[in-house]
Amino acid sequence: MALVPYEGFIGGAYRARSTNFNAETCLNLYPETSAVGSSKSVAALYGTPGLALWATLAGNGGIRGEIRFNASTAFVVVGQNVYRLTTAGVSTPIGTVTNSAQPVSMASNGINVIIASAGQLFVIDPAANTVTQVVDPDFQGAGQVGFISGYFVWNVPGTGRAQYSNLYSTAIEPLSLFTAEASPDNGVGCIVDHLEYWYFNETTTEVYTITTDPNQPLQRIQGAVIEHGCAAAYSIAKMDNTVYWLGADDNGQGTVWRATGAYEPQRVSTPAIEFAISQTSDLSGAIAWTYQQESHAFYVLNVGDRTWCYDASVGLWHERAWRDPADGTLHRHRGQCQMAFANKNLVGDWQSGKVYELDLDTYTDNGDLIVSRRTGAFVSARSYHMLQVDFETGVGNAVAPGYDPVALLEWSDDGGHTWSNLHAASIGKVGEYQLRVRWRRLGTPRRFGLSRVFRVTVTDPVKRIMTGAMLDVSA
């Protein structure tokens, strides 16, 4: 027996338009590369965090937004209901906003929290536990809201304008507005980052900064015009010291961009990810959220019924999905928005009032099985005698020590169009740390010279880590 490395088994998601070209999937797994030369392998695949229920809030619909106000208080919007939350997960309803299927945008000036919901603005007074709608004859409507140097600022839907409040106030003056003039298209959304206000149009983006001019405190930075706009307002998010968004311009849409210090965006999506995104015809409903866990920074993008995740630490994409226990089908991840609060990464459910903790030591999505799957790169051989996948074995189940989790193997000899039957192999009861996960007698393709691709799936509620794979083949 001569084992050789299965090159390309560890990697990100890259399922191309033609699976005969590339059929790699990376579902509910994320790659991590080694920072030291003494590691067993140069990269590994880790299971994505499960969802541990942290709080349940009443409301008609899903969680539309959440914000940390200070170390002890957060605010969450569920449908039309606004809740105050403590670090213990205790919730108190304090008011309502205009309901919508779309998320809300929230910002804080340290005194109040302002909410943009369905074109309207609402103000939370944390001291009084009240929610009040902004009623002002000079208010022109609000899409997304941010806070910069004492001012609340928001884009006006259906126009190329933005408005801003008085300093550390929610009052609005008649002339407290400006127009994005790089192109005549309408604004889509906005975000504040590094004391800069990013205004995203349909085909261009402009960046503004605070000045000492009392009549126009927000002015465009000279040369800060980007010839790429935004396809979806709620795809705009901050992560890894910069801004990410799902782009659109005069040439098309569906590219994910990352801002650079020179206002020259860097493309981070791959052709395979852009092909997957293009399967959704209307991208305006795409929603993104970001979080950091251990050494990884993740941009999580929901497009249609699928969720794609970019890991800035390794520059690779993977897919996340929730398995419907009723029929076993896979759908978008449950998370719709995120906040770091109570020393946890908390995400809001897109369909209900549930708030979950993203927990690497939780191996279900609030009790629902997580499907982790890796489809490796193509390999070519005359016969396949054995595949060994280097799992962290002996993980078992601490609650049920006799539990014997398995990994399921399939292969395809026709470019990932059809698959073999499932073949199970144990990944070890608790304490079986030296177990080898192997599948033998894998056969010979019917036509000589056909490339084969292997797919490994784990659904058991256990820790799942793969550090590599080996093959025994006849060339």
Query: Three-state SS for 9?
Result: coil
DSSP run (H or E) holding 271: helix 271-278
The predicted-structure confidence for 309-323, as pLDDT tens digits, reads as follows 999 999 999 999 999
Percent of the chain topping pLDDT 70: 97
What would the two tokens of residue 73 be? 């208080």
Give pLDDT, residue 166: 95
The predicted-structure confidence for 418-468, as pLDDT tens digits, reads as follows 999 999 999 999 999 999 999 999 988 877 667 899 999 999 999 999 999
Give pLDDT, residue 39: 55
Q: How far apart are CA 231 and CA 129, in angstroms?
A: 36
Lowest mean pLDDT among 69-73, 117-121, 164-168, 444-448: 444-448
Q: Is the pLDDT of residue 180 over 70?
A: yes
What would the two tokens of residue 207 be? 């960046």
pLDDT band per the 50, 70, 90 thresholds, residue 48: very high
* Under 8 Å between Cβ of 465 and 360: no
What would the two tokens of residue 343 be? 């020393």
Task: Please state, rounded to an integer, the average pLDDT across all residues of the chain.
Answer: 94
Name the nearest CA neighbour of 342 among 69, 51, 71: 71
pTM for the model: 0.96
Name the nearest CA neighbour of 224 among 177, 265, 269, 163: 265
Q: How far apart are CA 348 and CA 471, in angstroms?
A: 42
β 465-474/383-391 pair status = antiparallel
Burial 375-409, CB ≥16 within 10 A → b, else e: bbbbbebeebbebbbbbbbebbbeeeeeeebbbbb
pLDDT band per the 50, 70, 90 thresholds, residue 36: low
Give pLDDT, residue 475: 78
Name the nearest CA neighbour of 9 among 428, 471, 371: 471
State the amino acid at position 133 in one-letter form.
Answer: Q
Name the nearest CA neighbour of 416 among 373, 378, 365, 384: 378
Give pLDDT, residue 446: 72
Q: How far apart are CA 298 and CA 387, in angstroms?
A: 31
Q: Is the pLDDT of residue 1 over 80?
A: no
